[in-house]
Homo-oligomer: A and B are copies of this chain.
Amino acid sequence: MKKSELLKEFKHYIKKSGLKYTPQREAIFRKIISTKGHFEIEDLIHKIKTKNMSVSRATVYRTLNILKEMGLVNEVIKYGNKTIYEVALKEHHDHLICKKCGKIIEFHSDEIEKLQDKICNKYDFKPEFHRLEIFGICKECRQK
């Protein structure tokens, strides 16, 4: 999906929910979708600042909460006291996280997804979201 379409969709979402489409919200969303992969809030806050735009920490947190509720952004990794977010645009996937260098590798396994569904059925549990994090040491870090 193109950036302009995404923005349009975001605007639509916002309006539909009776919220206001403010420059701050647009700036935050723009920055998030231009982030190719994963991001942390603190980075986002700093990267949003430009000559003619600045968004307060509070607004970033508040907007991110809206985006989470809308399902446009997910908390994909929780490590120590850090939370790493991701735009929910690509197909669902999970992560390998290197404890040494912090590298994040994405993977997807239909088989694992299916097995999860099977487990949920067994317990009559209605899944809404899942997160599979595998922590370890990546190839490059082991070679050193």
Contacts and interface: CB of A to CB of B under 8 A. Distances in A.
Interface in A87-119: 96, 98-99, 105, 107, 109, 111-112, 115-116, 119
Given A115-B115, A125-B137, 9 more contacts: A105-B123, A111-B111, A124-B138, A125-B139, A126-B136, A127-B134, A128-B135, A129-B135, A131-B133
Nearest to A132: B132
A142 interface: yes
A125 B99 contact: no
A126 B136 CA distance: 5
- Interface size class on chain A is 20 to 34
Chain copies in the assembled complex: 2
Given A112-B115, A119-B109, A135 B127 contact: yes
24 contacts: A78-B78, A96-B119, A105-B123, A107-B119, A111-B115, A112-B112, A115-B115, A116-B134, A119-B134, A120-B134, A123-B138, A124-B138, A124-B139, A125-B139, A126-B136, A126-B138, A126-B142, A127-B134, A127-B135, A128-B135, A129-B135, A130-B134, A131-B135, A132-B133
